[in-house]
Chains A and B, each alone.
Chain A
Amino acid sequence: MNVELKDIQKTFGMVHANGGISLKIPAGTIQGILGENGAGKSTLMKILSGFIRPDQGEILLDGHTVSIHSPADAIRLGVGMLHQDPLDFPPLRVIENFILGSAGGLLPDQGAVLRDFKKLAGQFGFSLDPEAYVDSLTVGERQQLEILRLIWLGASVMIFDEPTTGISTAQKMKLFAALCLLAEQGKTVLFVSHKLDDVEGLCSRVAVLRQGYLVGEAKQPYSTKKLVEMMFGKTISVGGRKPCRADKVTVNLSKLRVEDYRLKVRDVNLDVHCGEVIGLAGMEGSGQGLFLRAVGGMTHTVGGKILIDGRDLTGRSYQTFKKHGVAFLPAARLEEGLVPGLTLTEHFILAEEAKGFFINWDKGRLLAQERIKEFDVRGIPANTVESLSGGNQQRALLALLRDSLNLLLLEHPTRGLDIESVIYIWNKLKERCQKGTAILFVSSDLEEILQYSDQVLVFFSGKVTPPLDASTLTTEKLGELIGGKGWPESTDEGKLA
């Protein structure tokens, strides 16, 4: 289907999220939508898919003006969207969620649906258990489910709002193959991202947004430098590595064992030094997330010991870990990290140590203002968190962390952030390292792991490598380990030849 957007405008209060955007997308192409955090990408896509109504402007599908008032309208017209933050997932099974929103009568034919589901999942090489509960899925798996659902619902225009941020390299390759297939079938694919690599590798054409305006379009072959300039209005360069590992050990893990119903992580021994950054790599769901949560006291360990700053905190609650200077930052921002409905100021007050009984609102606002400025959050203290753009929510989450921590546990710390912000955020994190905070972080971005870690632990279905020196590791080697290649044959887990 040919899609045409004409002069789309949308303001939120004082913010021009979209300031008159016109764009034509022919059928059978993969159109990249590129732009920095808060550029207005999600807003534009939500307008096309009926989640938001524009203040002004027209949408044409195959040359006909259509009025899209709701996501249901959109899907009826063949426009489906995969959201940046997978929206509410009711506590249903995968297959129930799949059926949800389909037009089929009161009693859907479960058997037939199940066959469809399995066929589709097979086509894309996704391994999703239809009987699993959705809330037990990782962010990446939820995205897979959504993709299948949209295809099943018969969308012929498919919008992907930063679909690669949550998934592993292998999953990404599968996704890209699927998108190419969809385009070949004549569907229109809109691919929203701020990752240049992804856009360059996948999209035949790209439109760049900045601060609510369309600032340029480009076709393959691209000039990366030009795209960056269009996105940010200036050139950007990544800094060098600056390790700041001290001699003092702040966290000591011995023979740590963690389990959940699908995998076991066995006997991890690890010394984490002050100021050290350890990257945890692996396919989504290989045990790194479980391990990270265990080190923060959020998942019960089944064996071994956790010493934080010399104190044995094994089996204690997250609250205790927090008291001893451990902080955890979840990947699911709006589900676990932030409280929708509360303002930024309220968040900063909540996150600080409560002094006295009454809230000092002036102080809170001041603090919020300071941190907003320091972390370059695009928003004001009175904004509720759900009104921030995805990337700005992430910055807010980082801004909420208290000073002087022993250990920071991060799940995908820069997911959803543009390059400029990634560099900025890691500078902030490194500043903490210089003050002695150690960092353990999970990321599916190999570049990020290699660029910012001192040591790397690779996870593969519960197995863990000993710490590997990041400066001597290559992307290829890391990729192999993540994919399960190059591990010793023996069952002697945790040892790497």
Chain B
Amino acid sequence: MNKIRWLNFGFQIGAVILALLFTTVVLLMAGAPPLQAYLYIIKGALSSITNISNVLSAWAPLLLTTSGVLITFAAGLWNIGIEGQIMVGAIFTTGALRLLQNSTVPSGWILLIGFLAGMAGGALWAALAGVLKTFGGVNEIFGGLGLNFVATAFALYLIIGPWKRPGIASTSGTLMFPDKLWLPTLPKVQFSVWALGLGILVVILVYFLLRGTHFGLRLKAIGKNSKAALLMGVPTWQYVMFAFLLCGVFAGLAGAIQVTSVYHRLTPAISSGYGFLGLMVAMLINYQAIWAAPVALFFAALNIGGIQLPIVLKLDSSLSGVLQGILVLFVLLVEGARQRLFRKR
């Protein structure tokens, strides 16, 4: 038993090494010095307090989206629509803050209401995907893709239309919120303990939800065989809807965090791709919630670390994205190979 575990571990390490090798080849082909590039990524992520705090503040929303898709994955759903759910969450939060920012309501309360609105927005957008799936028979991947487009278009419309900055309509975003509506951060850095606390709380919640509750077990049963689950008395469509809603709530929270602690306004790229990144993390960890936190942290570090690259090496910052993608691919490949090898014998 133990031997098998070590072997699996070996396979995973092998996958990471393969991914690094492959990325190195890509870098060499692009004419960039690979070692230096890696070094800069590491530096960019860890070399200063600011960098580290940036990594941590990217970690929070990524934890939320990863947790969300772990739930939908458990129910056998590919919630591609999570990007749109973050977006609509952010829109709702922005709307709530705008509505209340000039009122006499204390700012703490405004923030709380903003977060609740974000959760509601994400849930609403997820519910749409769920309704399309359960009642319209639209595959959640297609439904989600469509809804993502609609959400982005809607945000753009708000930014250059009704919510435009006084005088100028620019796609760079709405007017910044006043400091009092910023999520409290540690002094001098962007990092908010509140946001991270929320992310970690949700990961722990999802871990226990999937591992030790009837709800989680039923979701898994639906994901693996919904016909049998139905016959065993699991109300399948209700659970599918609920999985969507829960994921939407988490995505909406991520959107609220992006608005209140990172950008302090609504921008068209407010999701920062954390939805898709969350899907990748979930795939990388083979849907095991226990690994969500460390791997999400690693991905956040790659994201932040890559920001420096264009300046210092004239490389595109998407190198981190390339590395992340290749990593997922190789881990999946090696996993597939491992299963073939062992099942056959």
Contacts and interface: CB of A to CB of B under 8 A. Distances in A.
B212 A358 contact: yes
B221 A350 contact: yes
A350 B231 contact: no
Interface stretch (A34-42, A88-96, A215-223, A329-337): A329-337
A350 B218 contact: yes
Contacts of A340: 224-225
Nearest to A346: B217
Interface string B18-55: 00000000000000000000000000000000000000
B214 A336 contact: no
Interface in A308-360: 318-319, 322, 328, 330, 335-342, 346-347, 349-351, 354, 356-359
16 contacts: A319-B233, A328-B231, A330-B231, A336-B227, A336-B231, A338-B225, A339-B221, A339-B229, A340-B224, A342-B217, A356-B214, A357-B214, A358-B213, A358-B214, A359-B212, A361-B212
Contacts of A346: 217, 220-221
A363 to B, nearest CB: 12
Contacts of A55: 345
Contacts of A69: 344
Contacts of B217: 342, 346, 349-350, 359
B345 A350 contact: no
DSSP class of B's interface residues: helix, strand, loop or mixed?
helix
Nearest to B218: A350
B215 interface: yes
Given A337-B228, A339-B224, A341-B224, A357 B213 contact: yes
A457 interface: no
A341 to B, nearest CB: 5
Contacts of A354: 214, 218
B254 to A, nearest CB: 25
Contacts of B220: 339, 341-342, 346
Contacts of A361: 212
Contacts of B229: 339, 350
A53 interface: yes
A339 B228 contact: yes
Contacts of A458: none
Contacts of B344: 52-53, 69
B225 A350 contact: no
B267 to A, nearest CB: 39
B164 to A, nearest CB: 47
Given A53-B345, A342-B220, A357-B213, A351 B227 contact: no
Contact of B232 (A351, A356, A358, A359): A351
B234 interface: yes
B235 interface: yes
Nearest to B230: A318
Give the residue among B214, B231, B233 with the most A Cβ atoms within 10 A: B231
Contacts of B228: 335-339
A182 interface: no
Interface residues of B, number: 21
A400 interface: yes
Give the residue among A328, A330, A337, A339 with the most B Cβ atoms within 10 A: A339
Nearest to A10: B345
Nearest to A323: B233
B227 A335 contact: yes
B235 A319 contact: yes
A16 to B, nearest CB: 16
Contacts of A356: 214
Contacts of A319: 233, 235
A342 B224 contact: yes
Given A338-B228, A342-B220, A350 B234 contact: yes
Contacts of B232: 339, 347, 350-351, 400
Contacts of B231: 318, 328, 330, 336-337
Given A322-B233, A339-B232, A341-B224, 12 more contacts: A53-B344, A335-B227, A336-B225, A337-B231, A342-B224, A346-B221, A349-B217, A350-B217, A350-B221, A350-B229, A350-B233, A354-B214
A328 B230 CA distance: 11
B1 to A, nearest CB: 10
B205 to A, nearest CB: 12
Contacts of B230: 318
Contact of B215 (A322, A330, A342, A357): A357
A340 B226 CA distance: 11
Contacts of B224: 339-342
A69 B345 CA distance: 10
Contacts of A358: 212-214
Given A53-B344, A339-B224, A349 B214 contact: yes
B225 A359 contact: no
